Amino acid sequence: MECIFCDIVEGRAPAEVVFEDGETLAFMDINPANPGHTLVIPKRHVRDIYELDGETAAAVMKTTVRVARAIKKALQPDGMNLVQSNERAASQEIFHFHIHVIPRWYDDGLRLARPPEVRRTMPIEEAAAKIRRGVAKE
């Protein structure tokens, strides 16, 4: 399996690392949406959120919070987006779980898909009932 993020973890590919602990790695995105755009990943290969266990999820989020606070202090953005995508339909391009930490400034020109176009192809109550059944089985 070829994975650029695994190569970065193993030191086989370069990265501008900003934080590392036993379970996670945070490094600068090479195609930043804004200055300070950082990626946070688990060191262990996890394809997407569907393969992510609770312990690894907690470690990644703990690092994400630490990095977001450091970005806030260092660059003083007006806001912050956390972006995480899964599978091709959601624009996942690198199939190793990662969270984008993107600093935002008023009038920075960055357009994320928010707010989304409202599409009511299924009643909210029906979707909620299906999700509740799924959560109960987890």
Active site residues: 98
- How far apart are the C-alpha atoms of 45 and 57, rounded to whole Å? 12
138: number of Cβ within 10 Å:
4
- How far apart are the C-alpha atoms of 31 and 50, rounded to whole Å? 26
Q: Where are the beta strands (DSSP E) in 2-76?
A: 17-20, 24-28, 38-42
- How far apart are the C-alpha atoms of 32 and 24, rounded to whole Å? 20
Residues listed for the chain: 138
